[in-house]
């Protein structure tokens, strides 16, 4: 399984764009990159998933360079409610199996 | 459309006892995975069930066992509880019919071992 490296914590002011970068140097050809958000005492919530280039949904954007060895989650105009832990995961379907391994995540603190 | 439902939400057990946690997956999902999350840590993969069989397992002792029923719901059993088993236990459901990752997590069961 590809190992991921993220900053342990980040602070941002309300209304700013936040970019969280994840390093995954040994990502495999079939691996997807997925980001989850987790609030205290709740289960992680799926944010966005991508394979290459750029993916955007109503919540965030995911930028993946051509070599796919890193990815950046972009949260536009964060609010206090975006304070949470953000996890970057890489993994694949292999023979129909799925493996999901979480790292320590990035604790984002949004400041008023 | 109901998401993943876990029960109970909180549980207190004594060291050495056994516990059973329950999970109902999201409608349309056939795969259930269980995770243990200690305070301040990321979720750690325990095992995954598909077609009523354990098909992947993380680095957890045999004290942790599970079951999946024909309706895709699942149970996690932990025997001979240790103080270190105190954690948030998360259930996640998914389906292989969707390529990549589409895990839906429940809110978890908070287990405290005293």
Q: Which residues contact B66 (CB under 8 A, 6 or more apart)?
A: B34, B46, B47, B49, B54, B74, B75, B76, B77
Low-confidence stretches of chain B (pLDDT < 50) are 100
Distance CA B44, CA B38 (A): 9
Distance CA B34, CA B64 (A): 10
Distance CA B48, CA B101 (A): 14
Residues forming beta bridges with residue A89, ordered by sequence position: A34
- Residue pairs between chains A and B whose CB atoms are closer than 8 Å: 66
Distance CA B51, CA B48 (A): 10
Q: Which residue of B has its CA nearest to A95?
A: B96
CA distance B44 to chain A (A): 7
pLDDT of residue A102: 81
Distance CA B22, CA B4 (A): 11
Residue-wise pLDDT for B84-113, tens only, equals: 999 999 999 988 766 545 688 999 999 999
Residue-wise pLDDT for A43-99, tens only, equals: 999 999 898 999 999 999 999 999 999 999 999 999 999 999 999 988 765 444 556
Q: Which residues contact B98 (CB under 8 A, 6 or more apart)?
A: none
């Amino acid at each position: 399984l590809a190992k991921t490296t993220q900053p342990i914590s980040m602070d941002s002011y309300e209304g700013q764009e936040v970019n969280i970068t994840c390093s995954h140097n040994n990502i495999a050809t079939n691996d997807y990159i997925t980001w989850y958000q987790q609030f205290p005492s709740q289960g992680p919530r799926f944010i966005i998933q991508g394979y290459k280039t750029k993916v955007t949904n109503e919540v965030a954007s995911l930028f993946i360079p051509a070599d796919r060895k890193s990815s950046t989650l972009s949260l536009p105009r964060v609010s206090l409610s975006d304070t949470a832990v953000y996890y970057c995961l890489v993994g694949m379907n292999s023979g129909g199996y799925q493996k999901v391994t979480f790292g320590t995540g990035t604790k984002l603190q949004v400041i008023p | 459309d109901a998401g993943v439902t876990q029960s109970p939400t909180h549980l207190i057990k004594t060291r050495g006892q056994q516990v059973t946690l329950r999970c109902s997956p999201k409608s349309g999902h056939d795969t259930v995975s269980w995770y243990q999350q200690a305070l301040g840590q990321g979720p750690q993969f325990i095992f995954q069930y598909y077609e009523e069989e354990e098909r992947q397992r993380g680095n957890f002792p045999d004290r942790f066992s599970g079951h999946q029923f024909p309706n895709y719901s699942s149970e996690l059993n932990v025997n001979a509880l240790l103080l270190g088993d105190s954690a948030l236990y998360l259930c996640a459901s998914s389906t292989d019919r969707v390529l990549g990752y589409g895990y839906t997590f429940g809110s978890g069961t908070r287990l405290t071992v005293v």
